[in-house]
Amino acid sequence: MALLLQHGRLKMTSLHSIGAVSDALCLDLMRKYDALQRSGRDDLDPNHENVVERVRMLEADLVAALSPHMTPKNVAALCQVTGFIGSPERIQRILTEELFKPDVLKIVEALKVVYKLDMSAAAASARGKGRRGSHPQRSAEPPSGGWLPGAASKEGGSSRKPSKEGGSASTAAAEEAEAPPTLSKTGSVVAGSI
């Protein structure tokens, strides 16, 4: 994708819907993971229908944007991957089975950093048990049945950091990740430089 953008074969505007759906999918998965860890069920999406629908939307957007630049074999491979991930049974297994727990936890924690979320503070605030002075960066109540990218919290503001080109939070995080870490005079990595 980077080469297609670099050589002008793909326009950044064609990736906006992919970024929006990816953001929504990531937020849904984080919310779902936290709900399953807390109570063993996800009352907002018990059958994983919202996540499955977002995976299908992402597949459709990716195929529409990339199929002119891919062989039919590669398009089929992309659809096979999204079809595998987009199964309610597999989503349930991935999010709940002990075998996957360490890897899923790493992914969820990384996504929380990328999206600058503290899901436990948001959930506590939604239950009315928020600590004085704590401000979750996203509302714990998802609008229209799902977490939406760039949604502002009730306290105001948005936690989503737009990139220079107006891309998604994941694009902004990728840009930050490309910068080399800086070292302090003592030789330790400076916080926030990675």
pLDDT of residue 23: 95
Decide if 83 is inside a domain: yes
Decide if 11 is inside a domain: yes
Decide if 96 is inside a domain: yes
- Nearest partner of 70 among 8, 6, 9, judged by Cα: 9
Asked whether 172 and 184 are in contact (CB, 8 A), the reply is no
Domain count, the chain: 1
pLDDT of residue 10: 87
Decide if 21 is inside a domain: yes
The model's pTM is 0.59
Lowest mean pLDDT among 26-40, 85-99, 111-125: 111-125
Report the CATH number that the domain containing residue 35 is assigned in CATH. 1.20.1440
Decide if 115 is inside a domain: yes
Q: What percent of the chain has pLDDT over 90?
A: 51
Query: CA distances (Å), 38 to each of 53, 66, 119, 124, in order?
Result: 24, 38, 11, 12
Decide if 98 is inside a domain: yes
Half-sphere CA count of 137, side-chain side, radius 13 A: 15
- Cα angle, residue 78 at apex, residues 72 and 84 outer, rounded to 5°: 135
Decide if 116 is inside a domain: yes
**What is the span of the domain harbouring residue 48?**
2-161
Q: Is the pLDDT of residue 134 over 50?
A: no
